[in-house]
């Protein structure tokens, strides 16, 4: 499938879906405290998306080939869970980290974003991993401009992560997005700067690095969805949906509560 180029009208519609996804994370942040379960966070997010925003939670019953339908409305990945964690009744504890991944559908268009939250007071190791993963995402975003190679995104993320002593998960990547949850291109979070297709104005895709405190190796839990680090080291993830503009990049999933780009990283709009 070729990479789709969105029109101005398409991008305007995607801005709405993406803003709504980000606003779910703004809404849920005050609830991410010790004692709440990820199942309760899922319920709160579901009700907010459906009853307040008038959105469809894209993950609910999502079933790519070879997978059973995903049973919840968000993904909630705790500590050594890398991605696609299925919300459950386990209560979050002080010191946990949890990634909440939100994808909304509004008027047929998808918006996709995630943040990793610290639950109460966490260790220095956990806080550093979360902050560095956020920087890795923005280092990748800073490479987006027309004429650049897609591989520049992954190369920047890999350099940032490995330079800080972390590892990059390789089996999962960012993706094109629009009327479909997952479109071309696949956006690797590692690699060489000169690899991949040339970015063009109107391309829309996610950048969502998964960074491990230990080794990069992962495994899948018996639920068929949740991915964990093999060595049980902590893992963090951040995600934005971005659009290639005529001069640089527009981050579509920004909201008032979204942590800003680190000041030492320059992004060209």
pLDDT tens for the 269 residues of the chain, in order: 899 999 999 999 999 999 999 999 999 999 999 999 999 999 999 999 999 999 999 999 999 999 999 999 999 999 999 999 999 999 999 999 999 999 999 999 999 999 999 999 999 999 999 999 999 999 999 999 999 999 999 999 999 999 999 999 999 999 999 999 999 999 999 999 999 999 999 999 999 999 999 999 999 999 999 999 999 999 999 999 999 999 999 999 999 999 999 999 999 99
Backbone angles phi, psi at 150, to 5 degrees: -55, -35
Give, in order, the Cα–Cα distances in Å from 43 to each of 3, 47, 66: 34, 6, 26
Place of tokens 């398409």: 10
- Walk me through the domains of the chain, giving residue ranges and CATH numbers: 8-251 (3.90.230.10)
Residue 164, classified by CB atoms within 10 Å of its CB into exposed (0-12), middle (13-18) or buried (19+), is: middle
């Amino acid at each position: 499938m070729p990479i789709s180029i969105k029109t101005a009208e398409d991008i305007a519609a995607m801005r709405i879906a993406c803003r709504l996804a980000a606003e779910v994370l703004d809404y849920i942040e005050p609830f991410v405290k010790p004692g709440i379960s990820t199942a309760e966070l899922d319920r709160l997010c579901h009700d907010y998306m459906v009853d307040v925003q008038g959105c469809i939670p894209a993950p609910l019953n999502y079933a790519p080939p070879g997978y059973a339908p995903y049973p919840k409305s968000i993904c909630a990945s705790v500590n050594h869970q890398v991605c696609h964690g299925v919300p459950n009744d386990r209560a979050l504890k002080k010191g946990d980290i949890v990634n909440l991944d939100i994808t909304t559908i509004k008027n047929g268009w998808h918006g996709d974003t995630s943040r990793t939250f610290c639950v109460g007071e966490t260790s220095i190791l956990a806080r550093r991993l979360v902050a560095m993963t956020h920087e890795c995402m923005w280092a990748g975003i800073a490479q987006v401009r027309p004429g650049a190679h897609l591989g520049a995104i992954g190369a920047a993320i890999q350099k940032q992560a490995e330079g800080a002593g972390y590892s990059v998960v390789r089996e999962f990547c960012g993706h094109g997005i629009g009327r479909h949850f997952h479109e071309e291109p696949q956006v690797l979070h590692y690699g060489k700067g000169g690899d991949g297709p040339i970015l063009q104005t109107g391309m829309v895709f996610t950048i969502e690095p998964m960074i491990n405190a230990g080794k990069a190796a992962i495994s899948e839990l018996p639920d068929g969805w949740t991915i964990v680090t093999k060595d049980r080291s902590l893992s963090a993830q951040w995600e934005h949906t971005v659009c290639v503009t005529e001069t640089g990049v527009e981050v579509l999933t920004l909201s008032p509560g979204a942590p800003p780009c680190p000041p030492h990283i320059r992004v060209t709009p």
